[in-house]
A and B are shown apart, each in its own frame.
Chain A
Amino acid sequence: MSGLLGPILIIVWKDLLLELRSKDLVVSIVVFGLVVVVVFNFALNNTPGRSAELAPGILWSAFAFSAVLGMNRAFVRDQEQGGLEGLLISPISRDAIFLGKALTSLIFMLLVEAALLPVYAVMLDFSVLSWSLMLTIFLGTLGFAVVGTLFSAIAVQTRSREIMLPVLFFPVLLPVIIAAVEASTRAVGGVTFIGLGRWLPLIVVFDALFLVICPWVFSFVVEE
């Protein structure tokens, strides 16, 4: 595991440093996430009485669209500047490359969500101070990051990558999105972990599956 951890952290360090320099990804996703919530809020005529019912759906729609926007860029810089080739000719495993990129995506998405959540809480009128909601958001985002990293690596090699990614991403993540919305609805309603029922374990099972399958598939995707 220590053989994996070192390269993973190096990749994360490099990506965070690059983002810190350019700031183009996180800022644009935060702005996009805000716009999505404002649009949904008005389109669905969200009122205080209906917010417990509507807020989780709006929340996860915004997260999912923001994730696609972010994942679209996950490999672009590496592909354009040759960094991916540099990684592939380095003596590190393909698993380490995948997990490094997935961890970077997870950190970016959690940062974006941390910035957006307080605003969403005010706009959609719900409390974010709930451990069950936090856990649901973390596990859902983990699924987004793992699947998104794999499909981003596939999409970046195609000419129509902006279209390709959502086409691949949403069908595969649908079970996670549905489970996350259901679990969040209960969490916003004030239930504890036990009250979340089968939805949280379902996300855990999908995350575990993705964490096994996606690194394996990635090693074939990046080979020429």
Chain B
Amino acid sequence: MTTQPTEAILTRGLAKSFDEWPVLWNLDLSVPWGQSLVLFGANGTGKTTLLRILATHVWADHGTVAVAGHNLRTNPEYARRKIGVVGHRSLLYDDLTCRENLVYYSRLFGLKNHKSRVEEVLETVKLRDRADFRVRTFSNGMQKRASIARAILHRPDVLLLDEPETGLDRESVSILGELLSEWTDSGRSVVMTTHDLDLGMNWGTRVGVLRGGKINFPDEKLTACGSKSHDNQIRQAVTDSLEATG
């Protein structure tokens, strides 16, 4: 960790449009190590686009993005080793078993001793007893758990989660909460989007609202005004910000 850069994620002047429709513009964001940033925002405000840019799946039109110190434009392959992604789709093949999918991804990421690591993540997401079943036979929640297993397989420094709670039952949500807590406790970072205010407030060490192409941080505004940022005040500020977006 001695050579680690000071920020897990650093963006400067980030802009992205789809055709003529601007989604993100001049967005500056820094996420320190060990922080769990939860992003709220109405539909179409660019939450998923931001995560896809950070995941190197979509290129920004302007600006610079660095994840774990690697510039995504010049060094994407190194950055990808440091990033784990859980999106709306599981990125798993229906006709492979859960274990085969995980072995496949562990080999793509060049993991040594991948067999033991696959068993470890299967245990973490409580899918060991269903590991040899085809993903096609899984419920949505189980597919999401398998997707989480895929994302943490290579022990990424930065986890990007796009509405990860969708489709999960209470037990799975609790497993995910513990996992995220372990992740940030060990000095790694998480950026997550959600529409669930309670969950976001519980899991995030910092909350932001994406609006008008930029991220507002209601808790920082409260602190700047001299107010002690209690959960209720932050919650209210997030709600106000979301309502203003609508």
Pairwise interchain contact B59-A224, C-beta atoms closer than 8 A:
yes
Chain A residue at minimal CB-CB distance from B134: A21
Pairwise interchain contact B108-A10, C-beta atoms closer than 8 A:
yes
Which residues on A sit within 8 Å (CB–CB) of B92?
81-82, 86
Q: Does A50 touch B at the CB level, under 8 Å?
A: no
The CA of A35 and the CA of B85, in the complex, are separated in Å by 45
Which residue from A10, A77, A92 sits with its C-beta under 8 Å from B93? A77
Chain B residue at minimal CB-CB distance from A9: B107
Which residue from A86, A88, A93 sits with its C-beta under 8 Å from B105? A86
Given the interface pairs A7-B108, A91-B109, the reply to whether A85 lies near B57 with Cβ below 8 Å is yes
Size bin of chain A's contact surface: 20 to 34
Chain B residue at minimal CB-CB distance from A88: B57
The CA of A182 and the CA of B87, in the complex, are separated in Å by 51
Which residues on B sit within 8 Å (CB–CB) of A18?
93, 95-96
Pairwise interchain contact B91-A82, C-beta atoms closer than 8 A:
yes
Given the interface pairs A89-B55, A89-B85, A224-B58, the reply to whether A82 lies near B90 with Cβ below 8 Å is yes
Q: Does A117 touch B at the CB level, under 8 Å?
A: no
Pairwise interchain contact A90-B100, C-beta atoms closer than 8 A:
no
Which residues on A sit within 8 Å (CB–CB) of B239?
none
Pairwise interchain contact A17-B105, C-beta atoms closer than 8 A:
no
Interface residues of B in 207-245 (CB under 8 A from A): none
Q: When A and B form their complex, what is the total count of cross-chain residue pairs whose Cβ atoms lie within 8 Å?
A: 69
- Minimum CB–CB distance for A60 against chain B, Å: 32
Chain A residue at minimal CB-CB distance from B160: A89
The CA of A89 and the CA of B90, in the complex, are separated in Å by 13
Given the interface pairs A7-B108, A17-B100, A91-B80, the reply to whether A86 lies near B91 with Cβ below 8 Å is yes
Pairwise interchain contact B89-A85, C-beta atoms closer than 8 A:
yes
Which residues on B sit within 8 Å (CB–CB) of A14?
93, 96, 104
Which residues on B sit within 8 Å (CB–CB) of A223?
59
Chain B proximity mask over A59-99: 1 for CB below 8 Å, otherwise 0: 00000000000000000010001110111111111000000
Pairwise interchain contact A91-B78, C-beta atoms closer than 8 A:
yes
The CA of A7 and the CA of B56, in the complex, are separated in Å by 19
Chain A proximity mask over B36-66: 1 for CB below 8 Å, otherwise 0: 0000000000000000100111110000000
Across chains A and B, which 4 residue pairs bring their CB atoms closest together, nearest first?
A86-B91, A82-B89, A82-B91, A91-B80
Q: Knowing that A14-B96, A14-B104, A21-B95 are A-B contacts, what are 13 other residue pairs whose CB atoms are under 8 Å apart, sorted by A's residue number?
A: A6-B110, A7-B108, A10-B107, A22-B95, A82-B89, A82-B91, A85-B89, A89-B57, A89-B80, A89-B83, A90-B109, A91-B78, A224-B58
